[in-house]
Amino acid sequence: MDIAELEVYNPWWKTGRVREGLLKQYKRRLYGDVAKYIDKRQIVMLKGLRRVGKTTLLLQLIQRLIDEGIAPNSILYFSFDEKAYDFKEVLSEYQKLVLGATLENAGNVFLFLDEIQKVADWENKVKSVYDLYPNVKIFVSGSSSLKLGRGLTESLAGRAVEFIMDPLSFGEFLEMNGHDVEKIMENTNLWKREMVPLFYRYMKFGAFPELACEKDEDAARRYLLDSIIERVIYRDIPEEFGARDVELLRKIIYILGKNPGAIIDFREIGKNLGRDERTVSNYFEYLCHALIIRFVFNYRGSPVASMRKLKKVYFTSANLIFALNPSFDSVLPKALENVVASGLDARFFYRNGYEVDFINDERGVAVEVKTKGRRGVVAEGRSEGRSGVVTGVVADGRSEGRSEVVTKVVAEGRSEGRAGVRTGVVADGRSEGRKLRQIKKFMADFPSMQKGVIVDAEMDGESDGIKIIPIWKFLLLSEKDRDI
């Protein structure tokens, strides 16, 4: 390694500031929380999905340090994303070529280590620097919750503080588009006409900083596919977890893209994709650790009991559903449900004779999502004596006369010489009155749940003591712990 490889990441050594093209004007809300730890001893660990703005936040912190009088050459930023350089070599060359001194004798030094999980045994190498040099402040970031989390709970236990950077909230999206969220919340009725189209753009592709002000849907879809989905499938997961069956990863993501919020059955998926159940389960876990998907568990009153039961899978951002579906309208109801799951940070749903869409146990809130034309998915033309090739992904499929109709999504739909993906729809049939009854029954069964909410595509009001809130307003209320 020569100095040019270090200089490319650290232009401030020559210019005295972060390059303008890299230093974005907008600061994520998480910035203030992280900045509080600049003067504290602990290692700052920042993790999040690709393209949510982790690197930008680190560079903003670097500029802040420079503005506060820290010598530019005392700040090292290095990304291990493109090539996993040897960690010790990077530090050795930095000390020799830039500091002109050892870390021990260099005064206050700040290390910003991006995509650190790509370095073998990174946690012990970082721990060694932390323990030996109290004058060195360390920031690390990455996009693998498993490898970063393992370091936090094992080698770095008690030495690091973790921050999770999610995709943009709706409020952040509005701020990036020039709107004052606090002013909007003073009287949401005045802003409905403007908020609805902005919400739909946010749901499709506005949850990533580089797309927040984008208007071109085709360009946005290509960005999401190339920079996030394909990158995770073909590079991140194979490199970091040794997963070799990229075709299985691709199939899983595209199956989920057609039916987010599905209850999953690893054995059935494995059977119909010709893969081992354990392999399928592992690949779902890889996608979860890559922060592409999230599990939501069937609520049973305690986290341990819940995690043994049924589970649904949602995407971290509904933008990924848009990317995977050129005909987005066909999955719009499920995308709306996915947005609520993300905005509420839901960990649970409830299904036991009746169903409630989402439970936030920490806030004591039960939420039902009501969308116009909400639909479950069934295989088209599957008669009593005939079935297609199924994936094991369970659709909503509840009809008026039955409390629970379990159907499966057809993956490749081949039968009797005919090929193609064949899906039809069946009406959900859960009326607003039924949703109200289900929420009230859940609140009676679980007294710790003090609030019930129906999230609607447009309606705003109250019915029988249950709030009905339009989805865009619900997202804003969910932020900053406002009262829902």
Give me the domains of the chain, ranges plus CATH numbers: 3-165 (3.40.50.300), 171-335+373-430 (no CATH)
Reduce the DSSP state of residue 374 to 3 states and report it. Answer: coil
Contact 26, 176 (CB under 8 A): yes
Whether 95 has a pLDDT exceeding 80, the answer reads yes
Mean pLDDT for 437-465 is 93
| pLDDT exceeds cutoff 70 at 118 | yes
Tokens describing residue 395: 């659709």
pLDDT of residue 138: 98
* Average pLDDT value for residue range 72-76: 98
pTM over 0.95: no
Give yes or no for residue 415 having a pLDDT over 70: no
Give the per-residue pLDDT at 389. 33
- Rg (Cα) of the chain, in Å, rounded? 24
Say what the pLDDT of residue 78 is. 97
Nearest residue to 360 (alpha-carbon basis) of 303, 438, 431: 303
The pLDDT value recorded for residue 377 is 32
Q: How far apart are CA 151 and CA 166, in angstroms?
A: 20
- Taking residues 367-373, report their average pLDDT: 80
Position 305 scores a pLDDT of 59
Tokens of 184: 């909007």
Please give the mean pLDDT across all residues of the chain. Answer: 87
Neighbours of 332 (CB within 10 A): 23
pLDDT band at 391 (very low <50, low <70, confident <90, very high): very low
Percent of the chain whose pLDDT exceeds 90: 75
More confident residue, 421 or 394: 394
The residue with tokens 């946690």 is 123
Q: Give the pLDDT of residue 145.
A: 80
Whether 390 shows a pLDDT value over 70: the answer reads no
Q: Has residue 64 got a pLDDT over 60?
A: yes
**Residue among 355, 370, 368, 374 at smallest CA distance from 484:** 368
Decide if pLDDT at 123 tops 70: yes
Better-predicted residue by pLDDT, 305 or 113: 113
Confidence of residue 150 (pLDDT cuts 50, 70, 90): confident
The pLDDT, as a whole number, for residue 363 is 87
Q: What is the mean pLDDT of residues 290-305?
A: 85
Specify the range with the lowest mean pLDDT, choosing from 151-155, 186-190, 356-360, 389-393: 389-393
Distance CA 463, CA 481 (A): 23
pLDDT at 371: 78
Torsion of CA 303, 308, 312, 318, to 10 degrees: 40
Q: Is the pLDDT of residue 423 over 70?
A: no
Compute the average pLDDT of residues 206-231.
98
- Integer Cα distance of 56 and 38 in angstroms: 16
Distance, CA of 169 to CA of 319 (rounded, Å): 12
Mean pLDDT of all residues in 57-81: 98
- Please give the pLDDT value at position 202: 98
Mean pLDDT of 299-308: 68
> What is the pLDDT averaged over residues 34-54?
97
* Token digits of residue 357: 């869409």
Lowest mean pLDDT among 340-344, 348-352, 429-433: 429-433
Q: Which residue has the higher pLDDT, 449 or 30?
A: 30
Predicted confidence band of residue 152 (pLDDT cuts 50, 70, 90): confident
Residue 421 is predicted with a pLDDT of 31
Q: Which pLDDT band, with edges at 50, 70 and 90, does 153 fall under?
A: confident
| pLDDT for 367 | 96
pLDDT range class, residue 304, cuts 50, 70, 90: low
pLDDT at site 2: 82
Give the mean pLDDT of 270-295. Answer: 96
